Structure 1
């Protein structure tokens, strides 16, 4: 792939060369004879088509995950979270039995692969919240999550960004259905549409930074379903922290230094 260093910057195809802009750079490549029609019809591209179908299903499952944690994705996610979630769904897809191009996305069986997924790897929760705590637990229906963080000293067991005066602990609970390929629709669909992409987040009170928290912190995230989740739906609990600076009695949230990670999935 070549770069166009001329002072003339343009886009399009000329004499077999295609000029285009990518992240502010003017690039040029040779025009290909490969067309979408050929990819979709030529027997030589059967594997490519099968991979495209599965990638499409993984993208749908990834979108369902992001929707379940919609508020947190925008607040905590890095710029690559969409691609990272889709890649995670592809790992699960490859572990699900079936014919290539028709393999399902069995999130429930492979729930362990969801654990430790960080919404922003640059801000690791284990490097920020050093206090001892257990993973959140789910009730028998899997629609209520509970997280207990014992009282701790914020001076020694919390790595807060400079200028932060307060923090909140967070517990998010989301559900995502398994996905299957539906022949009549020639695409992937959630097995349990009604239970797909549900989510809720619980926040602690604003906790001052400095000294002991003063008490154990217990968070409960309740989806309000009140009945057992279907066996083809995974419940995902993520835990995290938000930092704030208090100015004139107003809590101003920090844009960086916050963290959220999947801690329980079943």
Structure 2
């Protein structure tokens, strides 16, 4: 992979394409080539490749549901989460031995702990480097609820906030993640019909606190308002630290694209 330095352009130029990606300020160069889109779509030589591509599309469907369930913590991601989530979901998909290649299901509910600790940041340990004491959590799957214990935070001891940030808040989000399966009639991967906009993630957070002052331990409780009609789902609890600026009217404006988040627990 090559990078541009001193010359700036985006798009195609001859047999080279230049593009950027989230989490990097570099312009990436890639040589054009390979089979045409029509060949990959129709040629019998690419039949197996099409099946793998179809399964990758299934991971994208499942990944979209996961990203939605990060709720407000998704704004703390400093990279594209699609490819990173696909790496995990492909491992789940390969566990399906009942369906043929190209139609294997993504049943995260069979191994939800795979995503525990998943970082929304390019630096995998960014959240743990910010809050260096353990945040404990317990999930009640039957009650669709969680209880989170945030330890006492002492700047310079177990708490290292981002530079030049005056206020912070610890935020937890509870969401319901459905499995994804191939629909033979529609010829594509889908999530269950019950999974619609009524299953929005729920959030709880500490008050906005000054970053340079010790903060007492806090307990957060959160509950999902409705139960899915099926058992094939996972309960996902993510935690994030967001930063903000104190305004003159007494409110705090959250700072964009600054913070850290991870999946705290799954159930």
TM-score, length basis structure 1: 0.80
Deviation track 1:194-247 (CA, whole Å, cap 9, x = no partner) reads: 368631221111123345423x3111222211x477320011001121223435
Determine helix, strand or coil for the equivalent of 2:186.
coil
Structure 1: give runs of 5+ residues left out of the alignment: none
Change (3 A) 1:51 1:142: farther
> What runs of 5+ residues in structure 2 fail to find an aligned partner?
21-25
Instruction: Look up the match of 2:76.
Output: 76
Judged with a 3 Å threshold, the aligned counterparts in structure 2 of structure 1 residues 173 and 45 are, in CA distance, closer, same or farther, namely same
CA contact (8 A) 1:192 1:232 kept: no
Q: Does 1:48 align with 2:71?
A: no
Aligned 8 A contact 1:170 1:219 in 2: no
Give the aligned partner of residue 258 of structure 1: 259
Q: Structure 2 matches for 1:176-191, cutoff 5 A?
A: 176-191=177-192
The answer for the alignment partner of 1:240 in structure 2 is 240
Change (3 A) 1:118 1:152: same
Q: Distance in 1 between matches of 2:104 and 2:180?
A: 9
- Cα distance between partner residues in 2 of 1:26 and 1:150: 42
Distance 2:16 2:176 in 1: 44
Pick aligned residue for 1:207 from 202, 206, 209: 209
- Larger-gyration structure (1/2): 1
The equivalences for 1:20-59 within 5 A come to 20-23=17-20, 34-59=35-60
What is the root-mean-square deviation in Å for CA atoms of aligned residues? Answer: 3.3
Change (3 A) 1:41 1:240: same
Is the Cα–Cα contact under 8 Å of residues 2 and 29 in structure 1 kept in the other structure? no
Deviation (angstroms), 1:183:
1.2
Q: Is the 8 A contact 2:55 2:103 kept in 1?
A: yes
TM-aligned CA distance change 1:109 to 1:2, over 3 Å: closer
Mean CA deviation greater in 43-52 or 245-254: 245-254
Report the count of equivalent residues. Answer: 255
1:115 corresponds to: 116
